[in-house]
Amino acid sequence: MKNENLQFDSKCVHSGVGEYEHGSVVPPIYQTSTFKFENAAHGAALFKGDVEGYIYTRMKNPTVEAMENAVAELEGGHKALGCASGMAAISTTFTALLKSGDHVVCSKSVYGPTLTLLQTVLSKFGVEATFVDTDITEEIEKAVKPNTKIVYVESPANPVIAITDLEAAAKIAHANNALFVVDNTFMSPALQQPLKFGADVVVHSMTKFLNGHADVVGGIIVVKNEDDYKMMRRILNQMGGVIDPFNSFLVHRGLKTLAIRMQKHTENAQIIAEYLEKHPKVKWVRYPGLKSHPNYEVGLKQHSAPGGMISFELTDGFKAGEIVMNNVKLCKLAVSLGGVETLVQHPASMTHLTMGEAARATAGITEGLVRLSVGIENVKDLINDLEQALVKIQ
């Protein structure tokens, strides 16, 4: 049976899996840096591209390729390129698609290092960026210029959970001959597939939901056609930020439970978001599953469920945030997200520290904002833990 005829949860289990020696049901880990040629002519033919095969793991490796094929299939893309981290995927994408004199329209609220990459590294090579609230579609329209080559968004965005209308953003990008690139880390293809809404390239930090077990750092770029794939593969090979076979194996293993994990993350997060929204110590909650989310209706068009990420602001700002973070016991105080365990963090002093206070303020990252990556524990235990921490606020 062809995988394309399968439902998404079945695809999670079977994508990227082929036939292996000894009847192994999972792809073996080809933990090798290089591959032996049959003879000189075979080596030459491989380098010329006249025959299919493996040369060197930075260029191509069967374990990495199996995982890449799985993610490409789940995102509905043509092919994918495994990278050493989410930032390697993002920096490789920008390097491959931009040249000096080009302009990028980017969400104000994105993962801090993505913003600083554009501001401090790519700017050195003559790339200019404008940061806008992409969840307000007109802001994208206003920011686009004749030299805009990429419209770049995270939706929902890290950490304010802003939702951009993907279809509308894609239309604006394409009307201006620009590409639309989406970081789909917060939703994963189990809940949102941006290529269906017009994205040209999808990137992920696989460190998060795709792997799902907080034991891998990895990234991926998903593309729509063979020409883009070949061009990106060349750049990734030259930049060198590839993922290794063992981490690819772990991600591929994690993918098998992606659908069921995302379902449980969502179930728990919805209950917790509703609990927080009613809590007297909580000023506001941002969660795509709450009607109070300003782009709740946009979310319904493009994701099948609201996911596992919540942001909230405590009534007493920074100090109260500190009390909650120092008192949670089951929820771990740690950055990163998307693992089976619930993590809590404070963006202003952690993930978004490097942006600086002014950029945080314009991105809506208030000093008392707390971000919760809801895990798959029993939700009663999570609420008990949050409650005993919240009551400590005077």
C-alpha atoms less than 13 angstroms from C-alpha of 338 in its C-beta half-sphere: 29
Q: Which are the contacts of 190, defined by CB distance < 8 A and separation ≥ 6? A: 8, 12, 74, 209, 258, 259, 261, 262, 263, 304
Give the Cα separation of 257 and 239 in Å (integer): 32
When the beta carbons of 88 and 127 are compared against ligand LCS, the nearer one is 88
343, containing H or E segment: strand 343-345
Q: Tell me which of 30, 79, 102, 111 is the catalytic residue.
A: 111
When the beta carbons of 172 and 216 are compared against ligand LCS, the nearer one is 216
Exposure b/e, 299-325, CB count within 10 A at least 16 = b: beebbebbbbbbbbbbeeeeebbbbbb
360 labelled catalytic: no
Token pair recorded at residue 339:
């693992």
With CB under 6 A as the rule, give the number of residues binding ligand LCS: 17
Shortest reach from residue 250's CB to ligand LCS, in Å = 14
Give the Cα separation of 277 and 123 in Å (integer): 41
Q: Which are the contacts of 54, defined by CB distance < 8 A and separation ≥ 6? A: 35, 46, 60, 61, 62
Q: Binding mask 27-46 vs ligand LCS (x if CB under 6 A, - otherwise)?
A: --------------------
What distances in angstroms separate CA 121 from CA 116, 359, 384, 389, one per listed residue? Answer: 7, 17, 44, 40
When the beta carbons of 60 and 208 are compared against ligand LCS, the nearer one is 208
337 binds ligand LCS (CB under 6 A): yes
Piece in contact with ligand LCS (CB under 6 A), picked from 58-66, 172-180, 330-338, 382-390 = 330-338
247 binds ligand LCS (CB under 6 A): no
Chain Cα centroid distance, residue 314: 26
Give the Cα separation of 27 and 53 in Å (integer): 16
When the beta carbons of 137 and 185 are compared against ligand LCS, the nearer one is 185
111 labelled catalytic: yes
When the beta carbons of 170 and 372 are compared against ligand LCS, the nearer one is 372
Shortest reach from residue 338's CB to ligand LCS, in Å = 8
Shortest reach from residue 249's CB to ligand LCS, in Å = 17
When the beta carbons of 179 and 187 are compared against ligand LCS, the nearer one is 187
Shortest reach from residue 5's CB to ligand LCS, in Å = 32
Shortest reach from residue 87's CB to ligand LCS, in Å = 4
Q: Tell me which of 54, 58, 171, 332 is the catalytic residue.
A: 58
Phi, psi of 312 (to 5 degrees): -150, 155
By three-state DSSP, how is residue 314 classified?
Answer: strand
Piece in contact with ligand LCS (CB under 6 A), picked from 97-105, 178-186, 312-320, 375-383 = 178-186
Shortest reach from residue 33's CB to ligand LCS, in Å = 23
Q: Tell me which of 79, 108, 149, 208 is the catalytic residue.
A: 208
Please report, for the chain, how many H helices and E strands are present, in that order.
14, 12
56 labelled catalytic: no
* Residue, CB closest to ligand LCS: 86
208 labelled catalytic: yes
User: Cβ distance 183 to 204 under 8 Å?
Assistant: yes
Nearest to 374 by CA among 230, 263, 248, 238: 263
DSSP for 35-71? ---SSHHHHHHHHHTSS---SBTTT--HHHHHHHHHH
> 3, 130, 336, 362: which one contacts ligand LCS (CB under 6 A)?
336
Token pair recorded at residue 356:
């600086």
Residue 118 per-residue DSSP state: I
Shortest reach from residue 336's CB to ligand LCS, in Å = 4
Q: Binding mask 77-106 vs ligand LCS (x if CB under 6 A, - otherwise)?
A: --------xxx-------------------
Q: Binding mask 343-362 vs ligand LCS (x if CB under 6 A, - otherwise)?
A: --------x-----------
Looking only at the bridges linking them, the beta strands covering 219-223 and 201-205 are: antiparallel
Shortest reach from residue 144's CB to ligand LCS, in Å = 23
* Residue numbers 180-239 binding ligand LCS by CB under 6 A: 183, 185-186, 205, 207, 217, 219
Applying CB under 6 A, the residues found at the interface with ligand LCS are 85-87, 111, 154, 158, 183, 185-186, 205, 207, 217, 219, 335-337, 351
Q: What are the residue numbers of the active site?
A: 58, 111, 183, 208
